[in-house]
Structure 1
Amino acid sequence: MKKEYLKGRGAQHNSHNKFETLHSEWRDDFLEYCLKQGELADNNKTTYIPVFPKSMVNKVTSPDVGMSYSMNPYQGCEHGCIYCYARNTHEFWGYSAGLDFERKVLIKENAPELLEEKLKSRSWKAETIVLSGNTDCYQPAEKKYRITRACLEIFLKYRHPVGIITKNALILRDLDLLAELNSYGLIGVNISVTSLKEETRRLLEPRTATIGKRLNTIKELSEYGIPVNAMLAPLIPGINSHELMALAKTVSDQGALSFAFTVVRLNGAIGILFTDWIRRTMPDRADKVLSQIESCHGGQLSDSRFGIRNKGEGPLAVHLHQVARIAKQRYFKGKKFPKLNTELHQSYKKGQLRLF
């Protein structure tokens, strides 16, 4: 008996955790029993689990990522993006990269205190810290826990530069803080827009803000003078890669100062989850899409080589980079995303301007 498709989720099962020797699977007789009893085999609910890490700011050593430090108030993400590279990190916590990643969200309630401790450290020198280097800091849990807002208050208190990556319009709730941070040149926002088609968005990213809301978010932030970079990533051949030029024009029209993109790579458990997902949701083009992804990564669904893994290689990847260059020349001429201010923090180490 085939398990019912879980609406509102990206992954449709829990992939095996590579760190665990045992794993579980659904048995047909159990599913049949639930059906006969009129019971749900899976309630598909999200669980929030408090955790208390000892540190919060992470050094980013990958040369492929445009940041030096990141922090993530939440581990796991209810948005459920099927392609998300962060899924694999859930295995380090003892969970699956599949449904567990979307339904067991770890809440780092002591994040603001740990951040403040870091910024007050005598050895710390100001360098942009990016919220959501891994999982979205404005995912649904933020409505309840408000950890991201508390962290922004800390960044403002210590006049420290901060970047944000999100695909959720909830960021507009914090316009007051963002505007004040921007008055000191301390904030840069990256809004992820992966398609202009709602049908594609719903399949790829089931619990994210609509495309319309994301475009409006870019517009509102830009009207406040807050610098916005659009993340047109990942581009997935056969699904959204053909939209690159239209995406670039649209986000520029809304006020974005720049854009960036990556070619999708399906490393670790993500390859298994994505393959299962596309055979369920797009069976007519699954083989073609998977083949085109492989053509960008030397015949595999992923490439681990620094400098190549996010860019891809081969004719299709080369074509996408050529389109991106044309789009930047056509739609972003004269625009530039600013470098954030690192000069103020030293004078605010103790939370207020040092007068003497």
Structure 2
Amino acid sequence: MTNDQETYRCALPDTPPHISYGIPFYESCAKHVNETFDAKRVYIIASGSLSRDTDNITKLEDALGDKVAGVCRGMTPHTLWSEVLEITHEAREAKVDLIITCGAGSLTDGAKVIALALANNASNADDLDTMHLGRNHNVIHTEIKAPTIPIVSIPTSLSGGEYTRGAGATDDRNHRKRLFREPCQGPLLVILDPQLTTTTPDSVWLSSGIRAVDHCVEAMCSLSSTPSAVKRATKGLKALVPGLLRCKANKTDLEARLACQLGVIDAIAAVFVEKVPLGASHGIGHQLGPLGVGHGETSCIMLPAVCKYNFPINSAQQNNVSKIFWDDEMVKNVLHNHGLKEQKADLSDCLKAIIKELGLPGSLEAWKL
């Protein structure tokens, strides 16, 4: 549905969440808070940098008026349990009926765990400890109640967590990142605003974009992949890689930013809708994350290395990904500028060149600098 220049539709056919784009994020949010959710008491989890350095959170609060029942300004990356519990307590006391996140992926993950904690009256770390997957990833906790408070996400990065039900959060008692899945729920509405994302530092925007590229590459290169997963991942890559290069060249290229935001949907769908298992880049990245390496930066560091290591067993799949890069004129020029030749460069070489062109770290040593 398009109304007053707003596009409002399912992110994927017959699959939540819906997405909204085409009008300013605060206008869209106010409209759907009133018309779609009929919410009365809203809790906002806002990016710390957006709160400190821009007036965007003020615009959101003004648009929602007296419906705002509470605001948290900033969460630590990788979503600490202590912060989740603090917001859970505030939201419970405020009797909220809707949670809004405005910022990057850690906030979205936080909202998912908070909604789950509220539904199960969790108040401390021991309570949360009963709800994550732990060591057995096949466990479905049927005794845990599903969340009832809906979430609206206004993402400012390309991590894509707003399109999944699961969430990662770090137990700050031992620095272990735990996964929360069913009956955890994702946002019911995702509001895309390319103009808002121009406030995101390039390092975050571009590296989280490589995280989405990582989803596409691992979906295409998995030995368990499917034709439909490859189709979705191919579409995502064709939007993401040229889009990221355009964003690097011109921060105000809103068309490229929206293309990246829409490309993320296909990247996530290639893995989570098609149920293709993720590979070593994501697996190792989940271990690096709690040590301080950003979500996107783990993919910048690990994805080329994992592709190089796996090339002997999935060279055909990797070559199909490389062909997508070489078939795009902009990407091909970047690869040539980094001294690569199509007949000699493998996928790892191509990824390293793209990551270097974006000014992102390609190793832990470079990340520390």
What TM-score, normalized by structure 1, do the two folds share?
0.29
Structure having greater relative contact order (Cα 8 Å, sep ≥ 6): 1
Q: More helix by proportion, 1 or 2?
A: 2
Question: What is the TM-score of this pair, normalised by structure 2?
Answer: 0.28
